[in-house]
């Protein structure tokens, strides 16, 4: 069955094919009243309570919600892979009219892979690190009797090719660690689709990938669904992806469905406050919010812990207290739906000169307002208006004059001609080769300013950050902090500089020792630098945790007991312990749900206002960078290709690569061919 043309275009790529109701076939998957629970020491924890959904051939059904909503528990139940202690307490799951809830393990093995394919979120965990990727695809074919041991390797290469992996025959012999994140995700797609299942469950399949890689993978999955008449259940927290790709959406909160319907209706006329909150929390290409701005009532991220359904109104971003942090999980590491732990008039952007340096900013630009969610009953308009750009204040366009630069105070950070190359592995007797990761990068960062450094994986962003921090040796160039070269100092002077520059890591699950208490984690920098004593540390910890809106008593808990959002707040408090002037934030929200992302971005904005911090904010996501940055520098292949004030660069990009990044942002309403003003 081939889909008809979309009824309504939502976004540049639309919401996918919308079928004529008269031509819609019977659902491939029907879930009714599904209840999932987990055995705990205190009784049964109900993770999913009365879930209903359907998935039809040739369509994408999205299951949306934040961490703890029950999305992943639902996915695991549908494929018979609930973790230890988890069980289906009631309800029905029918695949092509066959009931699955009562199947034994032997029967499930006939279903998994053959009739239902799962694309998991993290290829780093899901792929066998000691087995070539081709062998892992071939194993699926052999297990289901679809290929002999002799034929399976060739069939595996075909599956890898269909998944869009370049040079599939060569890549099939490689191990997962030798592939990029996007390539590893394509291997997971090949594994999931090798046996031609009728239903695909994609559990956050692109959440950790660059926007351009994400777009290519989603293009591939959408084509797979429409050309093979496969049904897909897309599990995600990203409503922009839903707007671009799905036909039907089911919104979950605390284990229950709160809203469901066609994508264009749910996203343009949401009825439930939780859905409206998800929409308002979604990062947009609109630039950062004004001072004192607070989130819209109904946002899932503004509910105070223990406040029931009443949203906490009027809370200023970055203010202290427990409501913001507690709202991320209700004060628990596991939410209700989770399993218990196991220069031109054309543009204000500035082209980079021959030296690779970026002209300095002259004056701090004003805050830009962010789009707010609609009130109940108010139509939000089409999705691009919501997940695209909002009106900005007009400002003088073009590079700063020489006189204006002379009147500006000296920058806090000046980076000039930064270069770093790494050796490339090759044959033993071959001539040694190198790859240039950073090539002549230069920029300036004023006090109290936020500079976004954006680009794909491999563009040189993180290597640049490590050299700024003094964690990576530069082959040439200089990093000047108040005129002192970070790359040249040693000993006590180096330690003193490190107190002024601190790092917020990407993944709070990996950057914090899970066996340490929060108090020990926050005081560790103070101990290392011999600042204060044990009696003083207790007050310092309480002040820092209050600053990042973590409730009293958190200092006695271990990192393993906290949610992702709470852990990242701890990481920020730890970075603030030494009183730095500059925070280097390396993808600080990429591992978090959209609502938790919004809270952390608000927190960073509030901290910047109160403490006058400067941020070097590194991300592959332009929509996230737009929320926090005064200026943006775009990196590609080790060089800065474009830089300028955030709103002007987003509105009128000059470099083709910047346009490509903008076009790849889900729900942006742009394409590579969009005419830029």
Model pLDDT for residues 499-541, shown as the tens digit of each residue: 999 999 887 878 888 889 999 999 999 999 889 888 899 999 9
525 phi, psi to nearest 5 deg = -60, -35
> 645 is written with which tokens?
């004030």
Confidence of residue 605 (pLDDT cuts 50, 70, 90): very high
What fold does the segment set 350-424+434-664 form as a domain? Rossmann fold (3.40.50)
Confidence of residue 429 (pLDDT cuts 50, 70, 90): low
Higher pLDDT, 307 or 456: 456
Spatial contact of 371 and 386, defined as CB atoms under 8 Å apart: yes
* Secondary structure (DSSP) of 476-531: EEEEEETTEETTT--HHHHHHHHHHEEEE-S-HHHHS-TTSBHHHHHHHHHHHTT-
Counted residue by residue, the chain has a size of 677
User: Three-state SS for 137?
Assistant: helix
pLDDT at residue number 278: 87
Largest distance between two CA atoms of the chain: 77
User: Three-state SS for 403?
Assistant: helix
Confidence of residue 665 (pLDDT cuts 50, 70, 90): confident
Could you tell me which of 624, 633, 574, 634 has the C-alpha nearest to residue 602?
624
Confidence of residue 415 (pLDDT cuts 50, 70, 90): very high
Each residue's pLDDT tens digit, 449-502:
999 999 887 788 989 999 999 888 999 999 999 988 888 888 888 888 889 999
Task: Tell whether the model's pLDDT for residue 258 goes beyond 90.
Answer: yes
CA angle 605, 658, 400 (to 5 degrees): 65
Separation of alpha carbons 662 and 665, rounded Å: 5
> 197 is written with which tokens?
């299942």
Is the sign of the CA dihedral 518, 513, 66, 617 positive or negative? positive
> 68 is written with which tokens?
């703890």
pLDDT at residue number 427: 59
Higher pLDDT, 367 or 605: 605
The chain-wide mean pLDDT, for the chain, equals: 78
Among 45-54, 173-182, 330-339, 594-603, which range has the highest average pLDDT? Answer: 45-54
119 phi, psi to nearest 5 deg = -105, 100
pLDDT at residue number 428: 57
Spatial contact of 371 and 363, defined as CB atoms under 8 Å apart: no
- Burial label for 401, CB within 10 Å (0-12, 13-18, 19+), is exposed
CA angle 406, 407, 410 (to 5 degrees): 75
User: Three-state SS for 451?
Assistant: strand
Least confident of 90-99, 201-210, 536-545: 201-210
Least confident of 278-292, 471-485, 496-510, 555-569: 278-292
pLDDT at residue number 314: 29
> Which H or E run contains 22?
none
**217 alpha carbon, distance to own chain's centre:** 15
Each residue's pLDDT tens digit, 142-176:
999 999 999 999 999 999 998 888 889 988 999 99
Spatial contact of 222 and 234, defined as CB atoms under 8 Å apart: no
Separation of alpha carbons 59 and 112, rounded Å: 20
Confidence of residue 671 (pLDDT cuts 50, 70, 90): low
Confidence of residue 217 (pLDDT cuts 50, 70, 90): confident
Could you tell me which of 216, 122, 202, 66 has the C-alpha nearest to residue 507?
122
Higher pLDDT, 667 or 508: 508
CA angle 593, 598, 602 (to 5 degrees): 145
Task: Tell whether the model's pLDDT for residue 198 goes beyond 80.
Answer: yes
Segment 55-84 shows an average pLDDT of 90
Q: Which residues pair with 574 in a beta bridge?
A: none
Separation of alpha carbons 8 and 18, rounded Å: 8
Separation of alpha carbons 459 and 618, rounded Å: 11
Separation of alpha carbons 239 and 256, rounded Å: 18
Is the sign of the CA dihedral 570, 576, 578, 584 positive or negative? positive
Confidence of residue 286 (pLDDT cuts 50, 70, 90): low
Task: Tell whether the model's pLDDT for residue 555 goes beyond 80.
Answer: yes
Task: Tell whether the model's pLDDT for residue 358 goes beyond 50.
Answer: no
Spatial contact of 55 and 29, defined as CB atoms under 8 Å apart: yes
Separation of alpha carbons 227 and 534, rounded Å: 65
Spatial contact of 99 and 108, defined as CB atoms under 8 Å apart: no
* Secondary structure (DSSP) of 155-201: HHHHHHHHTT-SSHHHHTTS-GGGS-HHHHHHHHHHHHHTT--SEEE
Beta-strand pair 199-203/116-119: parallel
Segment 15-25 shows an average pLDDT of 45
Task: Tell whether the model's pLDDT for residue 437 goes beyond 60.
Answer: yes
pLDDT at residue number 234: 95
Separation of alpha carbons 607 and 599, rounded Å: 12
Separation of alpha carbons 450 and 604, rounded Å: 10
Q: Which residues pair with 632 in a beta bridge?
A: 452, 644
pLDDT at residue number 295: 39
Please give the model's pTM, rounded to 2 decimal places.
0.68
Separation of alpha carbons 488 and 606, rounded Å: 33
Domain boundaries, the chain: 350-424+434-664
pLDDT at residue number 290: 42
């Amino acid at each position: 069955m081939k889909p008809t043309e979309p009824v309504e275009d939502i976004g540049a790529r639309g919401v996918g094919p919308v079928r004529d109701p008269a031509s819609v076939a019977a659902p491939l998957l029907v879930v009714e009243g599904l209840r999932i629970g987990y055995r705990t020491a205190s009784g049964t924890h109900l993770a999913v309570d009365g879930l209903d959904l359907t998935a039809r051939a040739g369509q994408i059904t999205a299951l949306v919600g934040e961490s703890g909503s029950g999305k992943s528990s639902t996915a695991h139940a549908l494929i018979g892979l609930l973790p230890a202690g988890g069980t289906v307490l009631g309800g029905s799951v029918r695949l092509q009219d066959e009931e699955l809830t009562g199947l034994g393990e032997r029967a499930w093995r006939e279903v998994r892979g053959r009739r239902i394919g799962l694309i998991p979120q993290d290829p780093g965990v899901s792929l066998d690190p000691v087995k070539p990727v081709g062998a892992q695809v071939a194993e699926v074919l052999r297990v289901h009797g679809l290929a002999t041991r002799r034929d399976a390797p060739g069939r595996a290469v075909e599956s890898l090719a269909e998944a869009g992996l370049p040079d599939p025959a060569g890549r099939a012999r490689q191990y997962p660690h030798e592939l990029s994140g996007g390539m590893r995700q394509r291997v997971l797609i090949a594994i999931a689709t090798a046996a031609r299942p009728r239903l695909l469950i994609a559990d956050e399949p692109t959440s950790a990938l660059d926007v351009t890689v994400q777009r290519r993978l989603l293009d591939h999955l959408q084509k797979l669904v429409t050309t093979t008449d496969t049904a897909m259940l897309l599990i995600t927290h990203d409503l922009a992806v839903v707007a671009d790709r799905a036909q039907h959406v089911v919104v979950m909160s605390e284990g229950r469905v709160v809203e469901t319907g066609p994508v264009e209706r749910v996203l343009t006329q949401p009825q439930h406050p939780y859905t409206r909150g998800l929409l308002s929390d979604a990062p947009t290409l609109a630039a950062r919010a004004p001072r004192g701005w607070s989130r819209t009532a109904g946002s899932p991220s503004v509910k105070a812990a223990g406040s029931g359904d009443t949203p906490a109104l009027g809370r200023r971003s970055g203010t202290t207290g427990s409501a913001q942090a507690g709202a991320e999980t209700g004060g628990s590491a596991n939410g209700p739906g989770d399993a218990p732990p196991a220069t031109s008039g054309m543009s204000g952007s500035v082209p980079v000169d021959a030296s690779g340096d970026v002209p300095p900013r002259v004056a701090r630009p004003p805050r830009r307002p962010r789009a707010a969610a609609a009130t109940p009953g108010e139509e939000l308009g089409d999705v691009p208006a919501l997940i695209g750009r909002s009106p900005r204040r007009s400002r003088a366009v073009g590079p700063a004059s020489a006189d204006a630069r002379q009147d500006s105070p000296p920058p806090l950070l000046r980076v000039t001609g930064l270069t770093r190359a790494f050796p490339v592995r090759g044959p033993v007797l071959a001539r040694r080769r190198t790859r240039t990761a950073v090539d002549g990068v230069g920029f300036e960062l004023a006090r109290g300013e936020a500079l976004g450094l954006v680009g794909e994986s491999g563009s040189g962003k993180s290597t640049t950050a490590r050299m700024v921090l003094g964690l990576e040796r530069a082959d040439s160039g200089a990093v000047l902090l108040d005129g002192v070269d970070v790359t040249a100092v040693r000993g006590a002077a180096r330690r003193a500089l490190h107190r002024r520059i601190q790092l917020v890591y990407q993944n709070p699950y990996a950057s914090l020792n899970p066996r340490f208490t929060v108090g020990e984690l926050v005081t560790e920098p103070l101990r290392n630098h011999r600042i204060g004593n044990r009696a003083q540390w207790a007050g310092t910890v309480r002040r820092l945790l209050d600053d990042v809106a973590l409730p009293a008593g958190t200092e006695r808990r271990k990192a393993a007991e906290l949610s992702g959002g709470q852990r990242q707040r701890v990481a920020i408090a730890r970075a603030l312990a030494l009183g730095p002037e500059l925070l280097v934030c390396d993808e600080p929200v990429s591992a978090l749900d959209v609502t938790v992302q919004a809270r952390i971005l608000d927190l960073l904005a509030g901290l910047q206002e109160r403490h006058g911090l400067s941020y070097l904010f590194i991300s592959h996501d332009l929509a996230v960078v737009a929320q926090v940055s005064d200026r943006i520098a775009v990196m590609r292949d080790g060089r800065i290709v474009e830089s300028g004030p955030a709103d002007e660069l987003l509105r009128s990009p000059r470099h083709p690569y910047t346009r490509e990044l903008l076009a790849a942002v889900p729900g942006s309403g742009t394409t590579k061919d969009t005419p830029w003003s």
